[in-house]
């Protein structure tokens, strides 16, 4: 039993680390830009401090930049160095992980896109109300930190940004991030496999409170949280619990809480969490009935929260052993951009360790900040322009936003390409179900469901709309896939599984025909 729990926690920690890696790298980039290019003065101008307007500014910036609740840790550390108030810092820290272009597009293709827009507006109210009250109670939370001397223009400025990123990966920021990742691992040790499948019902008044207890220690990327919201809407779960999942599941983690306690003490941290809990839970009960999709028939259970539970059954160990099973799942589930993020973070960690070992004899910042020799104007080339640091930082911020928008078209391919991928995944899932390979089928069915969702988003992204007819065909396929998944889990008779496989195949055929007819 304990072996399954421990290895399951290791798997959850590895999965969370891989999912978070691209966002952590982006957060390090932004922290480096703010620290070495923007500087404290221009960072305060961008975010503001200790005003209602600054809370709105931070919310807007957080909504535009891609991030997660772990990736914001190095950013909030730099915002504190810049003398920004706690309310403004956490307005950004809570809004940045909630939405980004990828997750927002995903949310707008749900059965009631107005719900996602309402969630976004409610998140603004949450950070504004809680931030304003906190700043009123504690008006002097800005700190004064001596700013390092400016780095001379040229390649040294870019190297200075890289040095900041590398040092953050081997310092206190890394400890906070690891603590945030451990939250998901520890949570899995407390929740048996599938224990949340029949929770979060709309008619259960305790659903928002239960979700609060689960979401705070859990870690979820914006896309993961949005996918879970979609499943909750589809199954008729509690809307209030969905809102809490978004705010606390995607916007909060144990590492972020630890950062606040270390920097501001227990009293202010408890007051902030108390305000957040009061405002968010109040909102969750207030929006339950107005936003609930009455046309959806509630389902008796859902798999949306299985990723927070123990992944292994204690009475059935994997055939090849736990380490082999963990490696197999990681290889199958990890996406290319996550591997890319891991490689970049490993390189930064290696550089950070090298710089730390060199500090005993040679500190690189001393060389970087040393004024360069000024060349005579007559020898300076006409294209050798001095670009102010804030301008470079602004270009970097715009570039990150533009890259995330371009990434939407890569992550959500055209319907033709998506249908091809969905067809391959469907073939794997259905053939495994026919041959009685439950484990293989249960792996590929969620992949089919994922491509089914990306099909809708890809069409919405390119045409600006998604017809109810196409939405219905996708929903029918999703229902068939879910029913097949339940039958494989329950080990239903082979003849019943064959009938369901045939029904699922026909549902895919009708879906494919519906989308291809539109493309003619």
**pLDDT confidence of residue 373:** 56
**Is 224 inside a domain boundary?**
yes
**Is 53 inside a domain boundary?**
yes
**pLDDT confidence of residue 348:** 95
**Is 350 inside a domain boundary?**
no
**pLDDT confidence of residue 250:** 87
Q: Which of 316, 345, 374 is the last residue of a domain?
A: 345
Total count of domains within the chain: 2
From the list 49, 78, 45, 93, the residue with the least C-alpha distance to 145 is 78
Is there a single domain that holds both residue 336 and residue 452? no
Q: How far is CA 428 from CA 10, 311, 318, 320, 437, in A?
A: 28, 22, 21, 21, 11
The conformation of residue 308, written as its DSSP 8-state character, comes to G
Q: Range of 433's domain?
A: 413-519
Is there a single domain that holds both residue 225 and residue 313? yes
The conformation of residue 203, written as its DSSP 8-state character, comes to T
Is there a single domain that holds both residue 132 and residue 36? yes
Is there a single domain that holds both residue 99 and residue 239? yes
**Is 193 inside a domain boundary?**
yes
From the list 442, 439, 342, 351, the residue with the least C-alpha distance to 14 is 342
Burial 318-348 (b: 16+ CB within 10 A, else e): beeebeebbeebbeeebeeebeebbebbeeb
Is there a single domain that holds both residue 182 and residue 264? yes
Q: How far is CA 230 from CA 161, 213, 223, 464, in A?
A: 38, 21, 10, 19
Is there a single domain that holds both residue 280 and residue 428? no
What is the SS3 assignment for 193?
coil
Count other Cβ atoms within 10 Å, centred on residue 518.
13
Is there a single domain that holds both residue 250 and residue 117? yes
**Is 355 inside a domain boundary?**
no
CATH number at residue 430: 1.20.120.660
Q: CA torsion, points 160, 165, 170, 171, in degrees to nearest 10?
A: 80
Is there a single domain that holds both residue 17 and residue 111? yes
**Is 32 inside a domain boundary?**
yes
**Interatomic CA distance for residues 361 and 432, integer angstroms:** 61
Output the tens digit of pLDDT for each of the chain's 520 residues. 788 899 999 999 999 999 999 999 999 999 998 888 888 888 888 888 777 888 888 888 888 888 889 999 999 999 998 888 888 888 888 888 887 777 777 776 765 667 778 888 888 888 888 888 888 888 877 887 787 787 787 788 889 999 999 999 998 899 999 999 999 999 999 998 888 878 888 888 898 999 999 999 999 888 888 878 877 877 788 888 888 988 888 888 999 999 999 988 898 889 988 999 999 999 899 988 888 877 677 776 777 788 888 988 877 777 778 888 899 888 888 888 899 999 999 999 999 999 999 888 888 888 888 876 554 444 455 555 677 777 777 788 788 778 777 777 777 888 889 999 999 999 999 999 998 888 888 888 888 988 888 888 888 888 777 788 888 888 899 889 988 988 888 888 989 999 999 999 999 999 999 888 765 5
Residue 114 has which token pair?
Answer: 């107005």
**pLDDT confidence of residue 375:** 47
Contact assessment for residue 474 and residue 431, using Cβ atoms and an 8 Å cutoff: no
**Is 385 inside a domain boundary?**
no
**Interatomic CA distance for residues 94 and 76, integer angstroms:** 11
Is there a single domain that holds both residue 254 and residue 149? yes
Is there a single domain that holds both residue 289 and residue 425? no
Is there a single domain that holds both residue 331 and residue 420? no
| Burial of 517 (C-beta count, 10 Å sphere; 0-12/13-18/19+) | exposed
Count other Cβ atoms within 10 Å, centred on residue 71.
26
**Is 392 inside a domain boundary?**
no
What is the SS3 assignment for 477?
helix
Is there a single domain that holds both residue 334 and residue 421? no
């Amino acid at each position: 039993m304990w072996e399954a729990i421990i290895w399951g926690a290791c798997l959850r920690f590895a999965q969370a680390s891989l999912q978070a890696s691209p966002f952590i790298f982006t957060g390090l980039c932004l922290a480096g830009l703010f620290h070495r290019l923007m500087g404290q003065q221009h960072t305060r101008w961008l975010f503001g401090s200790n005003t209602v307007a600054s809370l709105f500014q931070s919310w807007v910036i957080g909504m535009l930049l891609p991030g997660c609740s772990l990736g914001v840790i190095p950013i909030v550390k730099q915002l504190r160095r810049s003398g920004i108030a706690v309310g403004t810092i956490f307005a950004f820290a809570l809004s940045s992980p909630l939405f980004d272009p990828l997750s927002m597009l995903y949310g707008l293709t749900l059965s009631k896109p107005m719900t996602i827009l309402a969630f976004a507006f409610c998140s603004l109210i949450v950070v504004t109300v809680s931030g304003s009250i906190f700043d009123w109670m504690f008006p002097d939370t800005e700190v004064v930190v001596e700013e390092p001397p400016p780095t001379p223009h040229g390649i040294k400025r870019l190297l200075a940004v890289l040095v900041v990123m590398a040092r953050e990966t081997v310092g206190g920021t890394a400890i906070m991030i690891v603590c945030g990742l451990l939250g998901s691992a520890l949570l899995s040790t407390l929740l048996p496999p599938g224990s949340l499948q029949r929770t979060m019902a709309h008619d259960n008044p305790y659903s928002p409170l239960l979700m609060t207890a689960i979401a705070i220690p859990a870690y979820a990327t914006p896309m993961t949280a949005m996918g879970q919201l979609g499943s909750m809407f589809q199954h008729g779960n509690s809307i209030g619990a969905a809102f809490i999942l978004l705010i606390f599941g995607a916007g909060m983690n144990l590492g972020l809480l630890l950062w606040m306690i270390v920097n501001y003490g227990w009293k202010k941290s408890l007051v902030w969490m108390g305000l957040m809990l009061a405002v968010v839970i109040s909102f969750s009960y207030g929006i339950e009935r107005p936003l609930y999709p009455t046309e959806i028939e509630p389902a008796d259970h859902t798999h949306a929260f299985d990723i927070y539970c123990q992944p292994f059954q204690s009475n059935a160990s994997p055939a090849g052993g736990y380490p082999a099973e963990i490696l197999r799942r990681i290889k199958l589930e990890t996406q290319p951009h996550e591997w890319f993020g891991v490689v970049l973070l490993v390189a930064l960690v290696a550089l950070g360790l090298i710089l730390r070992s060199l500090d005993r004899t040679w500190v690189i910042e001393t060389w970087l900040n040393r004024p360069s020799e000024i060349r005579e104007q007559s020898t300076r080339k006409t294209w050798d322009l001095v670009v102010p640091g804030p301008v470079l930082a602004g270009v970097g911020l715009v570039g990150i936003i533009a890259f995330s928008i371009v990434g939407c078209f890569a992550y959500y391919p055209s319907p033709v390409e998506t249908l091809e991928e969905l067809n391959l995944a469907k073939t794997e899932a259905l053939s495994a179900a026919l041959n009685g390979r439950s484990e293989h089928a249960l792996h590929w069915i969620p992949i089919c469901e994922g491509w089914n969702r990306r099909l809708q988003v890809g069409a919405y992204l390119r045409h600006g709309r998604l017809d109810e007819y196409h939405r219905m065909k996708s929903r029918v396929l999703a229902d068939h896939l879910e029913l097949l998944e339940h039958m494989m889990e329950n080990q239903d008779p082979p003849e019943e599984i064959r009938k369901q496989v045939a029904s699922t195949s026909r549902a895919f055929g009708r879906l494919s025909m519906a989308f291809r007819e539109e493309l003619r």
